[in-house]
A and B are shown apart, each in its own frame.
Chain A
Amino acid sequence: MIRAGDASGLAAHGSGSKDRAGLDAAGLVFTGEMYGVQLDQLAQVLGVSQRSAIATVSRWVADGLAESARLGPGPRWIWLTKAGLTRCGLPYTAAVPALSRLAHLRAVTATRIALAATPHFTDGQAYWRSERRLRSKFGRRMGLREHLPDAEVHWPDGTPLAWAGECWAIEAELTPKTISRTAEIMREALARTGDYGCSPADVIQPGQPARHARVIYLCSPAARLVVGRSRDTLGALAGRVELRLLPADAQWQQE
């Protein structure tokens, strides 16, 4: 799991330290966890300029750890090869980020970067559990009934934050779904008690505390209305759904 420090600490590495190996390692793990990252976002994560980020990526590509290509609008995408994933110890299948998911991947990465940039994230020693990691828990057993959040944020106990000990589900919503479907997803996330990949019977286990204390919805302006209305249908559960707009750079805009 990627800890808060992996992302926020990267900037410190990049700004002063010459610990290239550490920078590489954290950047590689970040890229592997997120399926793929665009160059401008990788530069933010590493805390370096885009030019330096290009150099870093070139080195990864030369070492066979990553691949880079222009897949869609905006900067190049970087993703890890099988060798790169093995180097990071990530048990995922290497694949080029799917074209249909590029916008979503960028939005989730932007969410992670924005959240990791807050002092609370570092103080709370939070860690980001990506969708790719959650999905890997299923293997090939992924059922139709399971909805995966885009990530989980775990707030360990023993930190000064009021919400220490909580686990949040993160949902990045670019395009609006139907209200009933969105509300169904919200309920499922809030009712869940078991970890992802557990047996179907343990998904919701009577007497056990809910897995997600709250669901954080990051919406595009287009999806905001539907998500808001869906939340209203939840009754008292609505208090456990937080709604915010996606960061401005979550959607690539052609200049």
Chain B
Amino acid sequence: MIRRWLGLLIAQVVFRVIVGAIAALIATAVAIAAAPVTLVAIGAFTVAWSRGWPPRRLLLAAAWCAPMVIAWLASRAAGGTGPSGVATLPYHAWITSWQLVRAGSVLHAAAVIAPAAIPLGLLAGALAWTYRIRSLRAGAGGLSPGSAVAFDQRQWRHQVRSARARIAVPGSVPIITPKGAVAVGAVIRSVSHRTGPVAAIGYDRMRSHQVIVGTTGTGKTTLLLRLWAGFMAGGLQRHAAGRSGPPLLVVLDCKGGSDARRIADRVRRVLRDAGARSTAIWPDEASLSLWTLPPRQLTTTLVDLVEHGTGAAAYYTDVMEALIGLAVEAPGGPPLSSQDLLSRLEPGWLGAAYASTGTPADHQLIRSAGKHLADVALRFRTLFRRLGSGFDGQAGFGDADAWYCILEGTDQISVAEGQARALVDLLASFAARSEAGAARREILLAVDEFSAVSRRLPIWQLYERARSLGLAVQVSAQSWQGLGTEPDERNRIASTAEGGVWLLRTPQPEPVTALAGNRTEVSTTRRLRRFPFWAHQGSSGLREVPVVDPSLIRSLDVGQVAYLYRGGVSYIQVKRLVATPAPLSKHSVAEHPATEHAQHSGAQNPASDRQGARAKASQPASDGRRLAPTDLPDVSELLDAAFGPEPSR
């Protein structure tokens, strides 16, 4: 009995070996018989493996061979071969190629069989590569269950190497693609995204909210520059085509310091290459006018700029708001500068201003709140001293293509908070005004480390305001926690980022990676025979795995970013933008005015005739590079001789 059982066991083994050997022999014979196809398939498989290509790329390459095959068949058909001959042409080519090989004409043989062998080889290579990837991803391939992990890591390295080589080619990643999408770099790998070799996002996503998270030194600035340049170039292109208003980029750099100045210079040069005419750097080189805000908005902004308490202190806030309201909305128009406002808070000014035109309620208010006037003036004098001259200029956001606003959020937090609040109010006012106008500008507000100054203006509030005004907001932070103080706030920001989330290397990526959700994957268990040998038998099932692997995010290199969008992710090697060097200025820094760049495209925003006339009346004495009227020689003599004297109104 035992002998019979042992005999059966041996017979089974021998049968399996014989069947396996026969199968191997048949496969080898087929491979040798179809040697040209086999060679191409091996080559395709090797290239795909070494470059980390997805199988789709080999299939595409096979598809691109179709014109060659059609031309080959057509030439043969035209040469006298009938339709039946065309059908058997690959077979005849195969026979001919072997005959040529036997005759020693290997190259000739290759040329004869190439039209059939190349597409078939690519197809076979793609199938083999797909099988390899899927078997390993399912955990069924490889010698051990760990093979899948090693394979994935090796493929990541290959894909990174391939992406780096791609972006190293000059001109391979333009700022915008011919279809108007914003190109960022080369795709390393994508999950649930349809991507090509170049990573590009549609311009419409730049018009939606975006979130960028990445620690210092991971290439965040490089990525931001790319996105800003793409927004500018794409916006200008659309504007030139008459499809939208001109773009406006406003960057709030809430860290400040010398780094901010260096980045601002780089931004200016990069944007200039992207087609931006003027980039104003606030407050170093350009000043905005807070006083162009509508009077009611100006009152609210001014009161909000001053820190005030709650409880009993709220009474003084009300008094302050009432007095500021009176000063701003006084007959004769709102103040033109901080000095003008302070002069209105002098004792007696309000009384005189409202003496003839004020209502009884105004007079009553002036009488009752007048005793606090000196305190209010003191608070605003202190505020204006701390804010500096950045809001007493003549320019508006509409005067430049881009504004880079530097807020000293690290050094002087309370000042930066006030500045941020005022800048956002100014931009909101500008957006609301331009909304009614013909050429509505497409605005992107990019805020870097806004949490540093968001105590008085939470980011989510900024988001909500921006949404209602049609602004796109791009928030960047060094970590998930940097997006907001409360988890709810952070989730609110991230969940409204319709333009996608950019995730660079960060130590705690889980909250962000969770936003991409999960995907279903086949998981296989394998039986351990005896270490280190695993059997290929086991059971498979479906399991949920995260779309974005947090450990991969932690190991991202400099310049690598994961772009999360609609439940998919693309890992991208960002192409650095090299800006042309800045032209040497003919003037010294001292000669440059505070509003130089704003003046390049017009000195101020002419909200109305009245404002313009008032601005003219309050023009500062020195306006730098611009030729002041007094600097110009008088040409009246010539013009009078040619055209007569200047007409009077």
Q: Is the CB of A235 within 8 A of B615?
A: yes
Least Cβ–Cβ distance between B241 and chain A, in angstroms: 8
Q: Is the CB of A204 within 8 A of B601?
A: yes
Q: A117 vs B645: C-alpha distance in the bound complex, in angstroms?
A: 16
Residue of B nearest to A207 (CB): B585
Residue of B nearest to A116 (CB): B642
Q: A158 vs B70: C-alpha distance in the bound complex, in angstroms?
A: 72
Least Cβ–Cβ distance between B274 and chain A, in angstroms: 8
Q: A246 vs B647: C-alpha distance in the bound complex, in angstroms?
A: 11
Q: Is the CB of B242 within 8 A of A144?
A: yes
Known: A207-B583, A236-B603, A236-B626. A242 touches B639 (CB 8 A): yes
Chain B residues near A (Cβ < 8 Å): 236, 239-240, 242, 246, 268, 272-279, 394, 582-587, 592, 596-597, 599-604, 606, 609, 611-613, 615-616, 619, 623, 625-630, 632-635, 637-639, 641-647, 649
Least Cβ–Cβ distance between B278 and chain A, in angstroms: 5
Residue of A nearest to B596 (CB): A206
**A204, A232, A240, A245: which contacts B647 (Cβ < 8 A)?**
A245
Q: A214 vs B629: C-alpha distance in the bound complex, in angstroms?
A: 10
A-B contact pairs, 20 of them (CB 8 A): A115-B638, A118-B638, A144-B240, A162-B633, A188-B601, A201-B272, A201-B274, A204-B277, A206-B278, A206-B279, A207-B625, A210-B625, A232-B612, A233-B611, A235-B615, A236-B628, A237-B603, A238-B629, A242-B635, A244-B639
Least Cβ–Cβ distance between B577 and chain A, in angstroms: 14
**A118, A143, A180, A209: which contacts B606 (Cβ < 8 A)?**
A180
A53 within 8 A of B: no
Q: A239 vs B239: C-alpha distance in the bound complex, in angstroms?
A: 31
Q: A228 vs B600: C-alpha distance in the bound complex, in angstroms?
A: 22
Q: Is the CB of B240 within 8 A of A234?
A: no
A86 within 8 A of B: no
Q: Is the CB of A229 within 8 A of B639?
A: no
Q: Is the CB of A245 within 8 A of B643?
A: yes
Q: Which of A133-185 contact B (CB under 8 A)?
A: 143-145, 162-163, 179-180, 183-184
Q: A206 vs B635: C-alpha distance in the bound complex, in angstroms?
A: 27
A78 within 8 A of B: no
Least Cβ–Cβ distance between B333 and chain A, in angstroms: 15
Q: Is the CB of B643 within 8 A of A235?
A: no
Residue of A nearest to B587 (CB): A207
Q: Is the CB of B642 within 8 A of A117?
A: yes
**B634, B639, B645: which contacts A162 (Cβ < 8 A)?**
B634
Q: Is the CB of B601 within 8 A of A233?
A: no
Beyond known contacts A207-B582, A236-B623, A244-B639: 4 more, CB 8 A cutoff: A162-B634, A204-B600, A216-B639, A237-B602
Give the secondary structure class of B's interface: loop
Known: A184-B602, A243-B646. A234 touches B612 (CB 8 A): yes
Residue of A nearest to B280 (CB): A206
Q: A235 vs B606: C-alpha distance in the bound complex, in angstroms?
A: 10
Chain A residues near B643: list those with CB within 8 A.
111, 114, 218, 244-247
A88 within 8 A of B: no
Q: A60 vs B277: C-alpha distance in the bound complex, in angstroms?
A: 45
Q: Is the CB of A237 within 8 A of B639?
A: no
Residue of B nearest to A181 (CB): B438
Chain A residues near B585: list those with CB within 8 A.
206-207
Chain A residues near B273: list those with CB within 8 A.
201
Which size bracket describes the interface of A in this complex?
35 or more
Q: Is the CB of A201 within 8 A of B275?
A: yes
Chain B residues near A119: list those with CB within 8 A.
641
Q: Is the CB of A193 within 8 A of B632?
A: no
Q: Is the CB of A232 within 8 A of B609?
A: yes
Chain A residues near B641: list those with CB within 8 A.
118-120
**A120, A213, A237, A247: which contacts B637 (Cβ < 8 A)?**
A120
Least Cβ–Cβ distance between B243 and chain A, in angstroms: 11
Q: A234 vs B605: C-alpha distance in the bound complex, in angstroms?
A: 9
A200 within 8 A of B: yes
Least Cβ–Cβ distance between B279 and chain A, in angstroms: 8
Least Cβ–Cβ distance between B604 and chain A, in angstroms: 6
Chain B residues near A204: list those with CB within 8 A.
277-278, 600-601
Residue of A nearest to B636 (CB): A242
Q: Is the CB of A193 within 8 A of B600?
A: yes
Q: Is the CB of A143 within 8 A of B240?
A: yes
Chain A residues near B637: list those with CB within 8 A.
120
**A187, A205, A235: which contacts B619 (Cβ < 8 A)?**
A235
Known: A204-B601, A235-B616, A235-B619. A240 touches B632 (CB 8 A): yes
A71 within 8 A of B: no
Least Cβ–Cβ distance between A226 and chain B, in angstroms: 11
Chain A residues near B646: list those with CB within 8 A.
242-244
| Binary CB contact string for chain A from 185 to 225 against chain B (1 if under 8 A, 0 otherwise) | 00110010100000011011111111001101011010011
Least Cβ–Cβ distance between A134 and chain B, in angstroms: 18
Q: Is the CB of B275 within 8 A of A200?
A: yes
Known: A162-B634, A187-B602, A245-B644. A206 touches B628 (CB 8 A): no
Residue of B nearest to A164 (CB): B633
Q: Is the CB of A235 within 8 A of B596?
A: no
Q: A239 vs B623: C-alpha distance in the bound complex, in angstroms?
A: 12
Known: A203-B277, A228-B649. A235 touches B394 (CB 8 A): yes
Least Cβ–Cβ distance between A180 and chain B, in angstroms: 6
Least Cβ–Cβ distance between B288 and chain A, in angstroms: 15
**A179, A200, A203: which contacts B609 (Cβ < 8 A)?**
A179
Residue of B nearest to A239 (CB): B629
Chain B residues near A243: list those with CB within 8 A.
646-647
Least Cβ–Cβ distance between B202 and chain A, in angstroms: 22
Q: Is the CB of A233 within 8 A of B647?
A: no
Q: Is the CB of B600 within 8 A of A191?
A: yes
Q: Is the CB of B277 within 8 A of A236?
A: no
Q: A246 vs B619: C-alpha distance in the bound complex, in angstroms?
A: 30
Q: Which 9 A-B pairs have the closest CB atoms?
A: A239-B629, A233-B612, A187-B602, A162-B633, A244-B643, A207-B585, A204-B277, A204-B600, A233-B606
Q: A144 vs B355: C-alpha distance in the bound complex, in angstroms?
A: 52
Name the residue among A145, A204, A214, A240 with the largest chain B CB count within 10 angstroms.
Answer: A204
Q: A179 vs B607: C-alpha distance in the bound complex, in angstroms?
A: 11
Q: Is the CB of B239 within 8 A of A207?
A: no
Q: Is the CB of B647 within 8 A of A244?
A: yes
Chain A residues near B276: list those with CB within 8 A.
201
Q: Is the CB of B240 within 8 A of A238?
A: no
Q: Is the CB of A239 within 8 A of B236?
A: no
Q: Is the CB of B619 within 8 A of A236?
A: yes
Residue of B nearest to A120 (CB): B638
Q: A111 vs B394: C-alpha distance in the bound complex, in angstroms?
A: 34
Q: A203 vs B246: C-alpha distance in the bound complex, in angstroms?
A: 15
Residue of B nearest to A227 (CB): B647
Known: A144-B242, A179-B609. A239 touches B603 (CB 8 A): no
Chain B residues near A240: list those with CB within 8 A.
627, 629, 632
Chain B residues near A111: list those with CB within 8 A.
643
Least Cβ–Cβ distance between A31 and chain B, in angstroms: 21
Residue of B nearest to A144 (CB): B240
Q: Is the CB of B272 within 8 A of A234?
A: no
Chain A residues near B596: list those with CB within 8 A.
206
Q: A207 vs B584: C-alpha distance in the bound complex, in angstroms?
A: 8
